[in-house]
């Protein structure tokens, strides 16, 4: 689905009285990932915090979060991991934690050791206080957060509804930053992670789903408006190859596979087998006036851009 189609992401939620919290989490996850412009394969993670009775008969707060190695489009209840939230939240008092420490710690918080290992972004879900949290990498959000001027564009698109987090790789530090941002901006409806993605939430599974759709639809409409009448990525920076140049490049790549595409920029020294018999017939190319073919083991020097035919090249 194109990110330039405003209101392209329709709310497909169908209410049901039969879903418990985990069932609703599965349903929401599958629904979000039914469109790969919202959830990329294997990417994103969703969660719910619920009160449940554990194996001792005591009530506990459980964080259900996507397990590692699963895909939200096909995930079922067994793909989620249950973690004791009361054992995770004290981590907010730490200043740092390595990925290895975090994985080991979360493994001890699982309500059942046989459950899948929790996602590397689990602490983000745990530290955000809302009951239902979605973290996704939608295309339309990426069109904003992935730009050099993403923070300004995010401000123009979402105003105070979004909190901006500068790029930091996923892990403990990012989770703490997100939690602090949400606490400092209770009016916010989402967190935007620079060069990464989106965090949304809701008091119910349906509200969280709607919040995610609302964010990506607003971003899609914003991008469509700003991109109207413009060439993607500013248009071509160099003229397209002529058909004769394209044929020449293809045949050259067959003869000299080690050079690959853009071969005329290579200055690497290679020793090649004489079996690489030249199949180039440059005389058939109108755009190449003269190509001198010399046998083997030579430097292949810079000899022009693809739009400027080389005066000579050498067979490998």
CB-wise, 178 or 280, nearer to Zn ion? 178
Nearer to Zn ion, 66 or 315 (CB): 66
Q: What is d(CA 150, CA 146) in angstroms, rounded to the nearest whole number?
A: 6
Question: How far is the first Cα of the chain from the last one, in angstroms, to the nearest whole number?
Answer: 44
Min separation Cβ 204 and Zn ion, Å = 23
| Number of residues in contact with Zn ion under rule CB under 5 A | 1
**Nearest residue (CB) to Zn ion, 193 versus 316:** 193
Shortest CB 37 distance to Zn ion, Å: 16
* Least separation in angstroms between CB 202 and Zn ion: 19
Considering beta carbons, is residue 107 or 170 the nearer one to Zn ion? 170
Minimum Å gap between C-beta 197 and Zn ion is 5
Question: Angle at CA 40, nearest 5°, toward 2 and 181?
Answer: 95
- 110-169 residues near Zn ion, rule: CB under 5 A: none
**Interaction with Zn ion in 245-304: which residues (CB under 5 A)?**
none
Q: Is 23 helix (H, G, I), strand (E, B) or coil?
A: helix
Beta strands in the chain (DSSP E): 45-53, 59-66, 80-84, 132-136, 162-165, 190-193, 197-202
Least gap, CB of 199 to Zn ion (angstroms) = 9
- Binding segment (CB under 5 A) for Zn ion, from list 22-30, 79-87, 191-199, 231-239: 191-199
Site for Zn ion, residues 197 to 216, rule: CB under 5 A: 197
Q: Cα separation of 216 and 222, whole Å?
A: 10
**CA distance to 64, 125, 148, 190, per residue, from 134 (Å):** 12, 8, 25, 10
Question: Among residues 197 and 202, whose Cβ is nearest to Zn ion?
Answer: 197
- By C-beta, is 45 or 313 nearer to Zn ion? 45
With tokens 């690959």, the residue in question is 260
Q: How far apart (Å, rounded) are the C-alpha atoms in residues 75 and 90?
A: 29
C-alpha Rg value of the chain to the nearest Å: 27
The 74-93 site mask, x for binding Zn ion (CB under 5 A), equals --------------------
Measured between alpha carbons, how far is 52 from 238 in angstroms, rounded to an integer?
61
Contact region with Zn ion (CB under 5 A), list: 106-114, 147-155, 190-198, 252-260: 190-198
- Residue 150: CB minimum distance to Zn ion, A: 15
Interface residues toward Zn ion, by CB under 5 A: 197
């Amino acid at each position: 689905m194109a990110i330039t189609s405003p209101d392209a992401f329709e709310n497909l939620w169908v209410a049901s009285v039969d879903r418990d919290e985990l069932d609703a989490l599965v349903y929401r996850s599958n629904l979000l990932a039914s469109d790969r412009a919202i959830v990329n394969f294997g990417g994103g993670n969703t969660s719910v915090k619920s009160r449940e009775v554990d194996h001792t008969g005591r009530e506990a707060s459980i964080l259900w979060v996507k397990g590692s190695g699963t895909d939200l489009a096909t995930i079922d209840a067994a793909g989620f991991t249950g973690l004791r939230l009361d054992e995770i939240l004290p981590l907010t008092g730490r200043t740092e934690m390595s990925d290895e420490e975090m994985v080991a710690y979360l493994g001890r918080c699982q309500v059942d050791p046989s459950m899948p290992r929790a996602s590397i972004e689990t602490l983000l879900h745990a530290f955000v206080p809302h009951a239902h949290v979605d973290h996704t990498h939608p295309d339309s959000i990426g069109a904003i957060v992935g730009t050099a001027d993403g923070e300004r564009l995010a401000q123009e698109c979402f105003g105070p509804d979004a909190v901006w987090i500068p790029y930091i790789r996923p892990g403990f530090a990012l989770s703490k930053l997100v939690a602090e941002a949400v606490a400092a901006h209770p009016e916010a409806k989402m967190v935007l992670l620079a060069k990464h993605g989106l965090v949304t939430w809701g008091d119910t599974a349906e509200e969280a789903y709607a919040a995610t759709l609302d964010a990506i639809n607003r971003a899609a409409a914003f991008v469509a408006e700003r991109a109207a009448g413009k060439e993607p990525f500013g248009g071509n920076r160099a003229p397209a190859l002529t058909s004769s140049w394209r044929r020449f490049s293809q045949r050259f790549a067959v003869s000299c596979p080690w050079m690959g595409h853009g071969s005329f920029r290579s200055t690497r020294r290679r020793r090649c087998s004489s079996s690489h018999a030249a199949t180039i017939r440059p005389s058939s190319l109108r755009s190449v006036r003269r190509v001198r073919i010399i046998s083997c083991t030579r430097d292949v020097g810079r000899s022009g851009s693809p739009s400027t035919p080389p005066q000579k090249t050498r067979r490998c």
